[in-house]
């Protein structure tokens, strides 16, 4: 049996993280991904690109060169999906005019990933995750050890945009089976940011005050340090879990006082700081492993806070085949995330990054 996208050829002309991640997901699902290599997207990129560029073939294509469009015309008739992330006002966008693409390949699914969409006053601003999160309201809703806004290090907009690009491409390929025609797909880092911090405004929805404490959104739904310097995240929402956790901590009598009923119901935090202090004091009396054993036995929702290298050694990761060992041509032996989507009977088999690039002439071959 074959992977879902076996026989699909993807032309990846992107230089940013969102396009690279989208190309990796399509490649892990069986597509053949041809990645353009040029000054803004060198052959062996660092950081997350070590993973995101895996399994892709590399070819030389300079979007600034005089023959860039002619080379594109040779490649597009053999492609099923096109990924590009040029700014809306970039001169290269002229190459991707819908009429041109349709004339070259009416079955092509052409996906554009921009910073803020093809229209509007921000459309040509740089595709920077931090800026997109600031404009989308993510930073203003993020608590920290000072009042929000707070910096968020994770590339949420690029991650969301990559997922949307893949969903749009897959949906368009499915539609092509019945219509015989490709489609234009557009997404953006702004759309990706809104995935993680959606805005809903309606008369019937009361205003929501997002998490206001750096340790967590509620006393029994927060992060606490233990005696050995390790941390545990509590996840107690319902009263029965709060009661179990407080009894194990030895503060059951305190939590059962009527003034804390609002906490047990989850509808208020009038005594929040006193309760947080009581929990923090209790958690500091024992090591994390001791708390974990008792919480596990009592079925209290919790999780130990792990460091990255320990996470990779956890049996849970190995039981689900979530790691992949690859020999990278630039950095050598690597252990990295495996294919994040598993398909029954057709396991993905990602390959390393391309060892070299070269000119590609003629059409990208179809399966």
Which pLDDT band holds residue 169 (cuts at 50, 70, 90)?
Answer: very high
Q: What is the CA radius of gyration of the chain?
A: 25
Distance CA 72, CA 105 (A): 12
Distance CA 172, CA 188 (A): 17
DSSP line for 31-43: -EEEEEEBTTB-S
What pLDDT score was predicted for residue 268? 55
Which pLDDT band holds residue 363 (cuts at 50, 70, 90)?
Answer: very low
Q: Edge to edge, what strands does the sheet with 9-12 contain?
A: 57-60, 32-37, 9-12, 81-84, 109-114, 184-188
DSSP line for 145-169: SSSSP----S-HHHHHHHHHHHHHH
Distance CA 295, CA 298 (A): 5
- The string of pLDDT tens digits covering residues 207-243 is 666 556 778 888 999 999 999 999 999 999 888 999 9
- How many helices (H) and strands (E) in the chain? 14, 12
pTM attached to this predicted model: 0.88
- Phi, psi dihedrals of residue 311, rounded to the nearest 5°: -60, -45
What the chain holds in terms of domains, given with CATH numbers, is: 9-198 (3.40.50.10540), 231-304 (3.30.1540)
In three-state secondary structure terms, 210 is coil
- The string of pLDDT tens digits covering residues 15-61 is 999 999 999 999 999 999 999 999 888 999 999 999 999 999 999 99
CB within 8 Å of 86: residues ≥ 6 apart = 13, 63, 92, 93, 96, 112, 114
Q: Residue 59: how many CB atoms within 10 A of its CB?
A: 20
Segment (H or E) for 184: strand 184-188
Of residues 37, 30, 31, 32, the one with CA closest to residue 14: 37
- The string of pLDDT tens digits covering residues 180-197 is 999 999 999 999 999 987
What pLDDT score was predicted for residue 210? 58
- The string of pLDDT tens digits covering residues 2-28 is 899 999 999 999 999 999 999 999 999
Of residues 111, 107, 116, the one with CA closest to residue 96: 111
Residues 193/133, Cβ–Cβ less than 8 Å:
yes
- Phi, psi dihedrals of residue 234, rounded to the nearest 5°: -85, 150
Of residues 361, 365, 313, 336, the one with CA closest to residue 50: 336
């Amino acid at each position: 049996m074959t992977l879902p996208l076996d026989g699909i050829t993807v032309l990846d002309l992107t230089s940013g993280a969102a396009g690279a991640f989208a190309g990796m997901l399509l490649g892990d699902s069986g597509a053949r991904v041809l990645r353009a290599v040029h000054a803004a997207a060198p052959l062996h990129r660092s950081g997350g690109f070590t993973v995101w560029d895996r399994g892709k073939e590399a070819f030389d294509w300079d979007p600034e060169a005089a023959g860039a469009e002619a080379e594109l015309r040779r490649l597009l008739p053999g492609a099923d999906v096109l990924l590009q992330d040029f700014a809306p006002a970039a001169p290269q966008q002229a190459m991707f005019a819908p009429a041109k693409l349709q004339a070259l390949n009416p079955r092509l699914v052409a996906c554009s990933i921009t910073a803020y969409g093809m229209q509007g006053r921000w459309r040509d601003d740089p595709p920077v995750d931090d800026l997109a999160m600031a404009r989308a309201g993510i930073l203003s809703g993020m608590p920290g050890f000072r009042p929000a806004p707070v910096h968020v290090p994770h590339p949420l907009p690029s991650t969301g945009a990559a997922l949307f690009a893949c969903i749009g491409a897959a949906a368009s390929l499915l539609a092509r089976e019945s219509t015989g025609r490709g489609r234009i797909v557009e997404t953006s880092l702004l759309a990706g940011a809104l995935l993680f911090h959606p805005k809903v405004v309606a008369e019937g929805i009361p205003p929501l005050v997002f998490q206001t404490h750096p340790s967590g959104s509620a006393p029994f739904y927060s992060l606490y340090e233990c005696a050995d310097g390790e941390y545990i995240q509590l996840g107690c929402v319902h009263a029965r879990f709060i009661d179990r956790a407080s009894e194990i901590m030895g503060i059951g009598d305190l939590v059962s006082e009527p003034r804390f009923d609002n906490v047990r119901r989850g509808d208020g935090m009038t005594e929040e700081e006193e309760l947080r202090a009581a929990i923090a004091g209790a958690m500091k009396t024992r090591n994390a492993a001791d708390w974990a054993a008792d919480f596990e036995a009592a079925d209290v929702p919790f999780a130990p806070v792990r460091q990255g290298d320990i996470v990779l050694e956890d049996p849970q990761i190995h039981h689900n085949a979530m790691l992949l060992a690859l020999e990278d041509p630039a950095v050598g032996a690597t252990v990295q995330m495996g294919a994040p989507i598993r398909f029954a009977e057709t396991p993905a088999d990602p390959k390393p990054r391309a060892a070299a690039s070269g000119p590609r002439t003629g059409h990208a071959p179809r399966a």
